[in-house]
Amino acid sequence: MGGGEITKRGKGLVLLAVIPFPEDAAKETLAEIREEFPDLEYHYIFQKFVINQNSAPGGDVDVPADLLKRVNVLVTISWLPKTAAEVPNIKFIQFISAGTNHVAKHPIYTDTKIPLCSANGVHGPQIAEWVVMMDLIHNHNYIDLYKKQENKDWKHNGELSSRDNVGKTVGILGYGSIGRQVARVAKAMGMKVLAYTASPRKTPESKRDNGFIVPGTGDAEGSFPSAWYSGLDKESLHEFLKVKIDLLVLAVPLTKQTTHFLSTQEFALLNASNPSGTYIANIARGQVIDQAALIKALESKQISGAALDVTDPEPLPKDDPLWDAPNVLITPHVSGVTATTGERIFQVVRENLRRLRDGRGLVNEVDREKGY
């Protein structure tokens, strides 16, 4: 079944997946979906992964017009029909990415009310591990230690330069599914957790995570933070940054309000509240940080370092000065991709198929006004 071939499962819902990974990457969950929905007609088309500014696949995909007319559910990362008229029977579109900013100008997004769902919750475990891994590499001077291993150099100079995380504070800017799993791991290491969200979370219900959650992960009830901060204005953000933060995790969606959310003034505030240096991990989008200001903050030691899985632009040009900035670790937007990603994405698809069948609200539906 792959490479664009079609498998028919009766006269039920028609599901089309246009995705940049092999069909068998979700083999087990797809088998469970077929068993639960025996009349589902499933179509799979591979979309070649081409990195562009949004780290989403690019290029054209050939989807037969007669198939599009019958499709009820589309699973995709970036490919969309040109107009809603091409998919008159669509029930919802399931994106396999946590964000949808890369399609925010598409007519399907701007001019229709077709439900759009994200893959929030799918990437929490692996991205949280990436954040903690980078923080530990930084705190334990692992880059220097690895260089010693490469040189076969058994040398210890007795310096007390490594640091553990007990008693430190992690500030999570964007307390969604990824931030909540970071909080879970950070608490296990003895850290204090501070949460920051766009809107206030003052009641137990407002603190609850109602999105997709990988079992055994996250913070469903919002119980880990010792304090919550909120707001999309710089004044509210500055109140948050005035608290001493040892590890600042950026996990906000990219919107007009969050573009360059961290710039010169914000780095100065971090330095004032923590002169020993805040470590920044960005797994959101590169544009959330003013990259030129970040380079200056690294060079002037306003912050102790930065771990970046996203940059502005992407791919990062070879001559970009960010590559040579001190105490920076850069990965090519890979923190959310593991061998389990495909299965988890289709677990979200399965949940939304169930909700569609039962007449319930979809999980992870995007609020077009908010942008996430």
Report whether 14 contacts 41 (CB < 8 A). Answer: yes
Q: CA 145 → CA 156, 164, 255, 306, distances in Å?
A: 10, 16, 39, 19
Residue 60 banded pLDDT, cuts 50, 70, 90: confident
User: Of 325, 275, 338, whose CA–CA distance to 133 is shortest?
Assistant: 338
Residue type, 217: T
The dihedral formed by the CA atoms of 31, 35, 38 and 44, expressed in degrees to the nearest 10: -10
What is the model's pLDDT at position 11? Answer: 54
What is the model's pLDDT at position 125? Answer: 97
pLDDT per residue as tens digits for the range 306-337: 999 999 999 999 999 999 999 999 999 999 99
What is the model's pLDDT at position 157? Answer: 75
Q: Is the pLDDT of residue 158 over 60?
A: yes
- pTM of the entire predicted model: 0.88
Q: Is the pLDDT of residue 278 over 60?
A: yes
What is the model's pLDDT at position 152? Answer: 97
Task: Spell out where 116-263 has E strands.
Answer: 116-117, 169-173, 192-197, 227-230, 247-250
Residue type, 241: L
In a domain, 363, yes or no: no
| 136 plus 118 within the same structural domain | no
In a domain, 1, yes or no: no
How many Å apart are CA 278 and CA 304, to the nearest integer? 6
**CATH classification at residue 39:** 3.40.50.720
Copy the structure tokens of residue 62: 């050939």
Q: Is the pLDDT of residue 2 over 50?
A: no
In a domain, 183, yes or no: yes
Total structural domains in the chain? Answer: 2
What is the average per-residue pLDDT within 340-349?
97
How many Å apart are CA 169 and CA 229, to the nearest integer? 14
User: Of 243, 122, 242, 226, whose CA–CA distance to 176 is shortest?
Assistant: 122
What is the model's pLDDT at position 148? Answer: 94
Query: What residue numbers bound the domain in which 191 lies?
Result: 124-330
Which tops the pLDDT comparison, 61 or 192? 192
| 345 plus 247 within the same structural domain | no
What is the model's pLDDT at position 52? Answer: 53
| 167 plus 222 within the same structural domain | yes
| 290 plus 304 within the same structural domain | yes
Copy the structure tokens of residue 265: 């003034």
| 15 plus 153 within the same structural domain | no
| 312 plus 345 within the same structural domain | no
In a domain, 76, yes or no: yes
In a domain, 371, yes or no: no
In a domain, 82, yes or no: yes
| 129 plus 163 within the same structural domain | yes
| 238 plus 134 within the same structural domain | yes
What is the model's pLDDT at position 3? Answer: 38
> In the sheet that 227-230 helps form, which strands lie side by side, from edge to edge?
227-230, 192-197, 169-173, 247-250, 279-282, 305-308, 328-330
In a domain, 24, yes or no: yes
| 104 plus 176 within the same structural domain | no
| 215 plus 323 within the same structural domain | yes
| 131 plus 65 within the same structural domain | no
| 282 plus 256 within the same structural domain | yes
In a domain, 28, yes or no: yes
What is the average per-residue pLDDT within 250-273?
96
What is the model's pLDDT at position 50? Answer: 60
